[in-house]
Structure 1
Amino acid sequence: MITRRGLFKQVGVTAIGAAVAGNVAARTTMLPDLEPSSARSLRELTRALARSPRRRDFKTVPMILTNRDQWDSEALDLVLRYRAGLRQVWDNTAIASPWLNLMRNAMNTQIWSFGHPNFLCVSATHGSAHLALYDAYIWDKYHLGKLTNGKAPTNKFVNEPEAAHANPRDYEDTRGVYSPHDNSIPVLQRRGAVFLGCHNEVWELTMKLHKKGVNPDHLSHARMAAEFTDHLIPGVVLTPGIVGTLPELELAGFQYAK
Structure 2
Amino acid sequence: MAKAPRRRDFKTVPFMVTRSDQWDHEAAELVLAYRNRALQVWEATEIGAPWLKLTREALNGQVFAHGDPGFLAVAAIHGTAHLALFGQKAWDKNNLAALSGSTASTNTFVAAKAGTSASDDLQNIAGYYGPANNNITTLQQRDMVFVACHDSIHAISRNLCHAGHGEACSSDEFPADLTNHLLPGAVLLPSVVAFLVELQRAGFIYAKTG
Normalising by structure 1, we get a TM-score of 0.77
Q: How does 1:7-156 map to 2 (within 5 A)?
A: 49-156=1-108
Deviation at 1:159, TM superposition (A): 1.4
1:142 touches 1:214 (CA, 8 Å); kept in 2? no
Equivalent of residue 144 in structure 2, options 168, 190, 193 = 193
Match of 1:228 in 2: 178
Deviation at 1:219, TM superposition (A): 6.7
Structure 1, residues 73-116: CA drift from partner, whole Å, max 9, x if none?
Answer: 00000000000341100010011010000000000111111111
Greater fraction helix: 1
Q: Structure 1: how far apart are the matches of 2:177 and 2:94?
A: 11
Report the structure number with the largest CA radius of gyration.
Answer: 1
Match of 1:20 in 2: none
Relative contact order higher in (CA < 8 Å, ≥ 6 apart): 2
Deviation at 1:149, TM superposition (A): 2.2
2:120 touches 2:128 (CA, 8 Å); kept in 1? no
Gaps spanning 5+ residues in structure 2: where?
Answer: none
1:168 touches 1:176 (CA, 8 Å); kept in 2? no
Q: Structure 2: how far apart are the matches of 1:100 and 1:167?
A: 17
1:239 touches 1:245 (CA, 8 Å); kept in 2? yes
Equivalent of residue 173 in structure 1, options 106, 121, 124 = 124
Equivalent of residue 153 in structure 2, options 202, 209, 220 = 202
Distance change >3 Å, CA 115–CA 153, structure 1 → 2: same
Query: What is the identity percentage for the equivalent residue pairs of Structure 1 and Structure 2?
Result: 45
Q: Does 1:248 align with 2:198?
A: yes
Normalising by structure 2, we get a TM-score of 0.94
2:161 touches 2:171 (CA, 8 Å); kept in 1? yes
Q: Structure 2: how far apart are the matches of 1:192 and 1:81?
A: 15
Give RMSD over aligned pairs.
1.5
Deviation at 1:166, TM superposition (A): 4.2
Q: Structure 2: how far apart are the matches of 1:228 and 1:166?
A: 31
1:85 touches 1:120 (CA, 8 Å); kept in 2? no
Q: Structure 2: how far apart are the matches of 1:143 and 1:198?
A: 20
AA aligned opposite 1:234: P
1:58 touches 1:230 (CA, 8 Å); kept in 2? yes
2:23 touches 2:188 (CA, 8 Å); kept in 1? yes
AA aligned opposite 1:106: A
AA aligned opposite 1:168: S
